[in-house]
Chains A and B, each alone.
Chain A
Amino acid sequence: MSTAEPPPGPGPATGPGPGGFTPLIEMRGVNKHFGALHVLQDIELTIGRGEVVVVIGPSGSGKSTLCRAVNRLEPIESGTILIDGQPLPEEGKGLARLRAEVGMVFQSFNLFAHRTVLQNVSLAQIKVRGRARAEADAKSRALLERVGLADQADKYPAQLSGGQQQRVAIARALAMDPKALLFDEPTSALDPEMINEVLDVMRRLAHEGMTMIVVTHEMGFARSAANRVVFMADGRIVEDRAPEEFFDAPESDRARDFLSKILKH
């Protein structure tokens, strides 16, 4: 298997991250089916340290599956996924250790419903990272402060708005000091007026140099914060380019069609 820079679909391979390009997440020849549906087809994708890659595409194109494959919430059938040079373990302790290095933010927030906001952010720090409770709580409070929710620490998730819950979820992922963050449609379940409070937090993380894979329909975020836009359709990566190039002059018919549908009104 070739380890050279992958040719990502028909588009030119662009997108050096800030500074030198050291790969952090690499997907090589990744395939997956859901029954008869070939949801990931020969995916080749390399994401550099500090890069922000936005994945867009029509629903059913496999973009969420791609995101979830990175920490093996979706097991793949063939190909390899490397994180920081290490292949993703199949199961067990090794996989758990690697997952702790890759934070994930879900469409439906998935905060632990039976725990307070503070406990949500502290739990894995204590149980997985082995930090003392006081140390973990101090870090959690600092992170909640950072996402503007310091005063909500003792509430339960159900008492917060969607936007607040998603910001807590981001704080919970950050609490593990991850090398990269995966966002699986983080604003799709939010009321319109709450989308920006979440995107603002994500924009700040991007500027601070966090490596991020963001599956989203927010084109504004893709334009303003992404280093690269990956466009997927029917389980393939169709384009992989800088956002200005992609939005101003998409090369494939699929992308042109998709953009005309979402940007018209």
Chain B
Amino acid sequence: MKTLTDNWSTYWEGFLGTLSLFLVSAVLALVLGVLIASFRVSPVRPLRVFGTAWVTLLRNTPLTLLFFIVVLGLPRFDITLPFFTFAVLALGCYTSAFVCEAMRAGVNTVPVGQGEAARSLGMSFGQTMGLVVLPQAYRSVVAPIGSVMIALAKNTAIAGSFSVTELLGTYRTINELGYSIVWTFVWIAVGYLIITLAVSLVFNLLERRVAVAR
């Protein structure tokens, strides 16, 4: 406990860093993921091709490599951003590929007839997706998206190696001060648990809510 209380401010800073990395990346991943999923099921071929390429590229690249590409690659094109923004870009885009695939699986659970009925009434592709298909897809994607979000929360740890203040990186500071390595990591693990369990809780509640709304 002394490890925690003595280094409270270090832990707290790291915790907040991880939390904000997670929240901003999650928003980016969800927005991009839904958008790319719509691309992948759209009737416009170039959009489908773009969506497929996006997912293939990002889902099959190791996240650490993606960090290197963003942090070392983008400055070559004179794009210099704070490390936090670089990290959010890498995490958000990477995770969006997984969100997209979960959404697409959800879209596929909605019977084809639902979309056909919407189109037969004169709805556009956007209206068909937004009013009929996606609202019904959400209920089957809540659980898998929850898993993707938990993975994202843990993946934020990689940002620590790229000069972003976050929870895992705090071990260096604390360890240098001579605290027990085991207890240092125990408290870091507790920090991650707080975030991931909160995510689980939120998604369990969501799942219960969409289950009764029928």
Q: Is the CB of B113 within 8 A of A156?
A: no
**Inter-chain contacts of A158 with B (CB < 8 A):** 214
Identify B214's interface contact among A101, A113, A127, A176, CB under 8 A.
A113
**Inter-chain contacts of A169 with B (CB < 8 A):** 117
- By beta carbon, the residue of chain B nearest A123 is B131
Q: How many residues of A contact B (CB 8 A)?
A: 30
Identify A128's interface contact among B122, B132, B136, CB under 8 A.
B122
Query: Contact size class for B?
Result: 20 to 34
The secondary structure that dominates the B interface is helix
Given the known interface contacts A91-B43, A106-B116, A111-B117, the answer about A96 and B136 at a Cβ–Cβ threshold of 8 Å is no
**Inter-chain contacts of A152 with B (CB < 8 A):** none
Q: Is the CB of A176 within 8 A of B213?
A: no
Given the known interface contacts A106-B117, A156-B214, A158-B214, the answer about A113 and B123 at a Cβ–Cβ threshold of 8 Å is no
Q: How far is the CA of A99 from the CA of B123 in the complex (A)?
A: 8
Q: Is the CB of B132 within 8 A of A112?
A: yes
Given the known interface contacts A127-B127, A127-B131, A128-B127, the answer about A110 and B121 at a Cβ–Cβ threshold of 8 Å is no
Given the known interface contacts A99-B120, A176-B121, the answer about A110 and B131 at a Cβ–Cβ threshold of 8 Å is no
- By beta carbon, the residue of chain A nearest B112 is A110
Q: How far is the CA of A240 from the CA of B38 in the complex (A)?
A: 43
Q: Give the number of residue pairs across the A-B interface with Cβ within 8 Å.
A: 70
Smallest CB separation, A162 vs chain B (Å): 14
Given the known interface contacts A156-B214, A158-B214, the answer about A124 and B116 at a Cβ–Cβ threshold of 8 Å is no
A171 at the interface (CB under 8 A from B): no
A71 at the interface (CB under 8 A from B): yes
Q: How far is the CA of A246 from the CA of B214 in the complex (A)?
A: 46
Smallest CB separation, B82 vs chain A (Å): 42
Binary contact readout B65-97 vs A (1 if CB under 8 angstroms, 0 otherwise): 000000000000000000000000000000000
Within 8 A of B (CB), among A98-149: 98-104, 106, 108, 110-114, 123-124, 127-128
B108 at the interface (CB under 8 A from A): no
**Inter-chain contacts of B46 with A (CB < 8 A):** none
B209 at the interface (CB under 8 A from A): no
Q: Is the CB of A96 within 8 A of B119?
A: yes
Given the known interface contacts A127-B131, A128-B127, A158-B214, the answer about A110 and B122 at a Cβ–Cβ threshold of 8 Å is no
Q: Is the CB of A112 within 8 A of B117?
A: yes
Within 8 A of A (CB), among B94-139: 111, 113-114, 116-124, 127, 131-132, 135-136
**Inter-chain contacts of B119 with A (CB < 8 A):** 73, 96, 99
- By beta carbon, the residue of chain B nearest A126 is B131
Q: Is the CB of B114 within 8 A of A112?
A: yes
The 10 A-B pairs of least Cβ separation, nearest first, read: A100-B122, A110-B117, A124-B121, A110-B113, A104-B120, A128-B122, A99-B122, A96-B122, A114-B136, A96-B124
Interchain Cβ contacts under 8 Å between A and B, 11 examples = A73-B119, A93-B124, A96-B119, A98-B122, A99-B119, A100-B122, A103-B120, A103-B121, A110-B111, A113-B114, A124-B123
What is A's interface to B at a CB cutoff of 8 Å? 71, 73, 91, 93, 96-104, 106, 108, 110-114, 123-124, 127-128, 156, 158, 169, 172-173, 176
